[in-house]
Amino acid sequence: MSKVITVSVNGEPRQLPPEATVEALIKEMGLAGKRIALERNGEIVPRSTFAAQFLSDGDRLEIVVAVGGG
């Protein structure tokens, strides 16, 4: 069993524990509670499923943070 998995977040490699979820990654990145859109391997991940989405070695994630203003 691998001690870490490597995922790509916005093109940057990031190492995580094998049981990492999307929710854990968001918290680690300091984005919890922010308005974000997340795509995993080309598929949009609904916010309601972040806690149940376990990441896999080699996943490609794109995270976009909504910026307010006007």
Tens-digit pLDDT string for the chain (70 aa) = 569 999 999 999 999 999 999 999 999 999 999 999 999 999 999 999 999 999 999 999 999 998 877 6
- φ and ψ of 40, to 5 deg: -120, 115
For residue 42 the two structure tokens come to: 């080309």
- Does the reported pTM lie above 0.85? yes
Contact 26, 65 (CB under 8 A): no
What is the rounded CA–CA span in Å between residue 24 and residue 47? 13
